[in-house]
Structure 1
Amino acid sequence: MANEWATFGSDLHLDLAGRGRRKALMDALREAVRSGRLTAGTRLPSSRSLAADLGMARNTVADAYAELTAEGWLTARQGSGTRVAPRSDPRAEPRRRAAVPPRPLPPAGATPGVHAYDLPPGLRMAGVPAYDLLAGRPDVASFPRGDWLKAARKALTAAPNDAFGYGDPRGRIELRTALAEYLARARGVHARPDRIVVCSGFVHGLQLMGRVLHERGVRAVGVDSFGLRVHRDLLVRQGLRVPAVGLDEQGTRTEELRGMGGIGAVLMTPAHQFPLGGALTPARRAAAVDWARSAGGLILEDDYDGEFRYDRQPVGALQGLDPERVVYFGTASKSLAPGLRLAWMVLPEHLADEVAAAKGDIDWVSGSTEQLTFAEFLASGAYDRHVRAMRLRYRRRRDQLVAAVAAHAPGIRVRGIAAGLHAVLELPPGTEQSTLRTAAAHGVALLGVARFRHPDAPPVADGVVVGYGTPPDSAWSGALEALMRVLP
Structure 2
Amino acid sequence: MTDSWASSSAFGADLHLELHGPGLRQGLMDALREAVRTGRLAPGTRLPSSRSFAADLGIARNTVADAYAELVAEGWLTARQGSGTRVAQRSAPREPAAGTVGARPPRGRPTYSLMPGSPDLASFPRTEWLKAARRALSAAPHEAFGYGDPRGRVELRTVLADYLARARGVYAAPERIVICSGFVHGLMLTGKVLRQRRVRDVAVESYGLDVHWNLLADAGLRTSALPFDELGTDTAPLGRGELRGVGAVLMTPAHQFPIGVPLHPDRRAAAVDWARTTGGVILEDDYDGEFRYDRQPVGALQGLEPEHVVYLGTASKSLAPGLRLAWMVLPQAMVGEVLEAKGGVDWVSSALDQLTLAEFIASGAYDRHVRRMRLRYRRRRDELVQQLAEHAPGIRVSGIAAGLHAVLELPPGTEQSALRAAAWQGLGVEPVSRFRHEDAPADRDALVVGYATPPDSAWDGALEALCRALGE
Which TM-score tier does this pair reach, normalised by the shorter chain?
Answer: 0.7 to 0.9
State the SS of the aligned residue for 1:272. coil
* 1:155 to 2:121 alignment: no
* Partner Cα distance (1:383, 1:125) in 2: 42
Pair 1:216 & 2:202 matched:
no
1:473 maps to 456
Answer yes or no: is the 8 Å Cα contact 1:125–1:441 preserved in 2: no
Contact kept, 8 Å, 1:178 with 1:375, in 2: the verdict is: yes
1:447 maps onto 2:430 in alignment:
yes
Q: Work out the CA distance in 1 between the residues paired with 2:461 and 2:437.
A: 33
Of 339, 344, 357, the match for 2:327: 344
Q: Distance in 2 between matches of 1:458 and 1:449?
A: 12
* Aligned: 1:285 with 2:282: no
Superposition deviation, residue 335 in structure 1: 0.2
Selected match of 1:329 from 301, 312, 329: 312
Aligned partner of 1:398 in structure 2 is: 381
Deviation at 1:364, TM superposition (A): 4.8
**Matches of 1:146 and 1:300 in 2, distance apart?**
35
1:201 aligns to 2:182 (yes or no):
yes
Which residue matches 1:94?
A: none
Q: Is residue 294–residue 401 contact of structure 2 (8 Å, CA) maintained in 1?
A: yes
| 3-state SS, counterpart of residue 194 of structure 1 | helix
The one-letter code of the counterpart of 2:146 is G
Distance 1:379 1:137 in 2: 25
Change (3 A) 1:270 1:425: same
Cα-to-partner distance string for 1:275-297 (whole Å, 9 max, x where unaligned) = 00110121111110000011110
Question: Partner residue of 1:434?
Answer: 417
Counterpart residue type for residue 140 of structure 2: A
How many correspondences in the alignment? 365
Structure 1 segments unaligned to the other structure (5+ residues): 1-123
SS in 1 for 2:397: strand
AA aligned to 2:244 is G
Q: 1:210 & 1:440 partners in 2: Cα distance?
A: 37
Distance 1:443 1:167, change over 3 A: same
Per the alignment, residue 282 of structure 2 pairs with 299
What one-letter code is carried by the residue in structure 1 that aligns with 2:296? Q
Deviations 1:92-134 (A, max 9, x none): xxxxxxxxxxxxxxxxxxxxxxxxxxxxxxxx98353210000
Aligned pairs for 1:193-272 within 5 A? 193-258=174-239, 259-272=242-255
Q: Distance in 1 between matches of 2:366 and 2:392?
A: 37
Per the TM alignment, residue 363 of structure 1 is displaced from its structure 2 partner at its CA by: 5.7
AA aligned to 1:338 is P
The residue type paired with residue 375 of structure 1 is A
1:457 aligns with 2:440: yes
- Cα deviation code 1:301-343 (max 9, x no counterpart): 0000000000001111000001001000000000000000000
CA contact (8 A) 2:149 2:344 kept: no
1:340-395 CA distances to partner (integer Å, 9 max, x unpaired)?
A: 00000000000011101111179652101100000000000000000000000000
In 1, Cα distance between equivalents of 2:203 and 2:345:
25
Counterpart Cα distance in 1 of 2:211 and 2:106: 21
TM-score (norm 2): 0.76
Q: Is the 8 A contact 1:329 1:346 kept in 2?
A: yes
Amino acid at match of 1:175: L
For 1:126 and 1:477, the matched residues in 2 are separated by 25
With over 3 angstroms needed to count, the CA separation of the structure-2 counterparts of 1:476 and 1:171, relative to structure 1, is same
Mapped pair 1:317 → 2:285: no
d(CA) in 1 for partners of 2:132 and 2:160? Answer: 16
**Shift in Å, 1:429:** 1.4
Q: Counterparts of 1:331 and 1:439 in 2: how far apart (Å)?
A: 30
* Contact in 1 for aligned 2:188/2:219 (Cα 8 Å): yes
**What is the CA–CA distance in structure 1 between the aligned matches of 2:454 and 2:287, rounded to whole Å?**
19
Higher mean C-alpha deviation, range 357-366 or range 449-458: 357-366
Equivalent residue in structure 1 for 2:126, among 129, 132, 145: 145
What secondary structure sits across from 1:471 in the alignment? coil
Instruction: Please say if residues 148 and 346 of structure 2, whose CA atoms lie closer than 8 Å, have aligned partners that are also in contact.
Output: no
State how far apart, in whole Å, the 2-side matches of 1:282 and 1:390 are. 28
Between structure 1 and structure 2, the one with the greater Rg is 2
Shift of 1:261: 1.2
Percent same amino acid among aligned pairs?
Answer: 71
Structure 1 distance, partners of 2:345, 2:142, is 24
Q: Name the counterpart of 2:369.
A: 386
What one-letter code is carried by the residue in structure 1 that aligns with 2:390? Answer: A
Which amino acid in structure 2 is aligned with residue 422 of structure 1?
Answer: H
RMSD: 1.3
Paired residue secondary structure (1:284): helix
Q: Is the 8 A contact 1:250 1:281 kept in 2?
A: yes
C-alpha distance in 1 between matches for 2:284 and 2:106: 34
Inter-partner Cα distance in structure 2 for 1:125 and 1:137: 26
Structure 1: distance between partners of 2:185 and 2:313: 12
Alpha-carbon separation, structure 2, partners of 1:287 and 1:326: 14
| One-letter amino acid of the structure 2 residue matched with residue 329 of structure 1 | L
Runs of 5+ consecutive residues of structure 2 not aligned to the other structure: 1-104
SS at match of 2:246: coil
